[in-house]
Structure 1
Amino acid sequence: MFTNEMIASFNELETAVYQYISKNEQTVSYMRIRELADATHVSTATILRFCRKSGCDGFAEFKVRLKLHLAEKKQPRLKSMHHSVAEFFERTLNGPIEKQIERAAQIVSSADSIIFTGIGSSGIMAEYGARYFSSMGKLSLYIKDPLYPIHTELLQNSATIVLSVSGENDFTVRHAHQMREAGSTMISITNNKHCTIAKMADVNLSYYVTAEELDGSNITTQVPVVYILESLAREMHVLSSNN
């Protein structure tokens, strides 16, 4: 509700008003201007100046915006894990993903090395995937630092597995582009096949679960990603053993 520019423009008295409102948002949304002035030990004129600096014509408009802000902040109801897992199995496993996993397994089994990349929760999955694939006998590394330097001459006959829920993260897209330019064959694991990273990949494995956010953080379940990674690694091991 308050931008950095707004907060920087407040004088000492207006900052005191801002601090009080930040700690008492629900109460302030039902206060009269005189009540807020008394509570913050300032004049009503200071309150009005504060409202104008906050982008409102007066205190009444400020309270309307405050109430809308509080409504947006209401805690969303989280789905149960049972629902998330059932959604994945119903939407995805009845589709063509098993054949896509077989295609991806053929790529990684013939590659000399595998590079996993992702950031945030996808970075953690990249680390897990590299560990799991290495345990299956395939040299695997992971990159979860968005500023990690990539030396493309080392990527000959490699496969890159790119993980991203949205498939639109700028850093991940940049890494994926570098991998493609170096000639690394790309497999993407994303929440849908219509995102940028999925379109860049040679094979895309999509899991189609409802994306969830909490307080600005992406909390979309990673259970489908674990399933896909382990299924892919096991299929790769079978192919490698047969060869």
Structure 2
Amino acid sequence: MDLAGIAQQHQRELGELDKEIIGFILDNQAATEHMNIIELADAVHTSKSTILRLTKKLGFTGFSEFKYFLKQNRVSDSYKGPNVDSVATQISDITRTLDYLKSQDMTKLLQKMDDSETIYCYGTGYSQRKVIEEFSKLMICVEKRVIILPNKTEFDISMPMIKKTDLVIFASLSGETDDVKENLDILAMRGITTAAITSFGDNYFSRKADYSLFYYATPIIVGRKSFISESLIGLSCAMDYLFRKYGEFTKHADQKNESTKQHET
């Protein structure tokens, strides 16, 4: 169902201002997808809280979910071609993600990981959090302390404890989660190193982080109701690749240090 249909379902709950905002979004959907909540509020001459209340009236948990719906709906509307082989798409996403990662020089990021007293990880959604949980388990094998920040509230509480000797990794699909942008900005102002791992494309997290890595997440249309799905298998590959590269990095560093000691003696 598109935005107009959802608005029709909830029309009894909507005031005149709500309807005007929806009208603006329908006329400027592509532009709205790239706005944050404050920019949209300015565009329709209202407040951030009014936009947030509207998204909840329409049945969304917040503005981020609402923007994701707009993107999903646009992709669905623009999909006119033949059915795509979803398994072939999966293989392509994995292959392209790994090919991209192999082309990247991760030396500085790996060195920062090794130097960090603690690596904090934050996933912007449930699926992202499951991926970083697996990453944290793998990092035990290389004796590196990884702390998962399970939600925004605990992230905010933990902010004063994060030090310049730490590293914060953000795992995201869009790289545009509005309520986490402030955390990234504050960490940058405090001189704390950050890394963003997001799907390919220009996004806030990748622009603001000290290090950025990307993965492929091609939307596919599945099921009888033509639901649009974006698998995070590319994110899983990226996090697993980062763990493996770090394991190799520490092994080679230890061998180099041992060789240096033997030479000095």
The two structures have a TM-score, normalised by structure 2, of: 0.57
Report whether the alignment pairs 1:110 with 2:118: no
Report whether the alignment pairs 1:221 with 2:227: no
CA change 1:218–1:133 in 2 (3 A) is farther
CA contact (8 A) 1:115 1:158 kept: yes
Report whether the alignment pairs 1:140 with 2:146: yes
2:41 corresponds to: none
Where structure 1 has 5 or more consecutive residues not aligned to the other structure, the ranges are 10-70
The two structures have a TM-score, normalised by structure 1, of: 0.61
CA contact (8 A) 1:97 1:205 kept: no
Report whether the alignment pairs 1:182 with 2:190: yes
Q: Which has the higher helix share?
A: 2
- Residue identity matched to 1:140: V
Q: Report how many aligned residue pairs link the two structures.
A: 179
- Looking at structure 2, the residues matched to 218 and 141 of structure 1 have their Cα atoms a distance apart, in angstroms, of 32
- Residue identity matched to 1:147: T
* 1:123 aligned to which of 115, 124, 129: 129
CA change 1:218–1:80 in 2 (3 A) is closer
- Residue identity matched to 2:245: E
| Sequence identity percentage | 17
CA contact (8 A) 1:165 1:190 kept: yes
Q: CA deviation at 1:112?
A: 1.2
**Aligned pairs for 1:133-212 within 5 A:** 133-148=139-154, 149-212=157-220
- Residue identity matched to 1:231: Y
- Looking at structure 2, the residues matched to 218 and 136 of structure 1 have their Cα atoms a distance apart, in angstroms, of 38
- Cα deviation, 1:180-221, whole Å, max 9, x if unaligned, reads 233321111111251110011112111133245778997422
- Looking at structure 1, the residues matched to 153 and 83 of structure 2 have their Cα atoms a distance apart, in angstroms, of 35
- Looking at structure 1, the residues matched to 244 and 210 of structure 2 have their Cα atoms a distance apart, in angstroms, of 20
- Looking at structure 2, the residues matched to 117 and 218 of structure 1 have their Cα atoms a distance apart, in angstroms, of 25
Q: Deviation above 6 Å: which 4+ runs of structure 1?
A: 213-218
CA change 1:77–1:142 in 2 (3 A) is farther
Q: CA deviation at 1:163?
A: 0.7
Q: CA deviation at 1:164?
A: 0.7
2:20 corresponds to: none
Where structure 2 has 5 or more consecutive residues not aligned to the other structure, the ranges are 15-75, 255-265
- Cα deviation, 1:113-154, whole Å, max 9, x if unaligned, reads 101111222222222222222332100011131222233343
3-state secondary structure, aligned to 1:136? coil
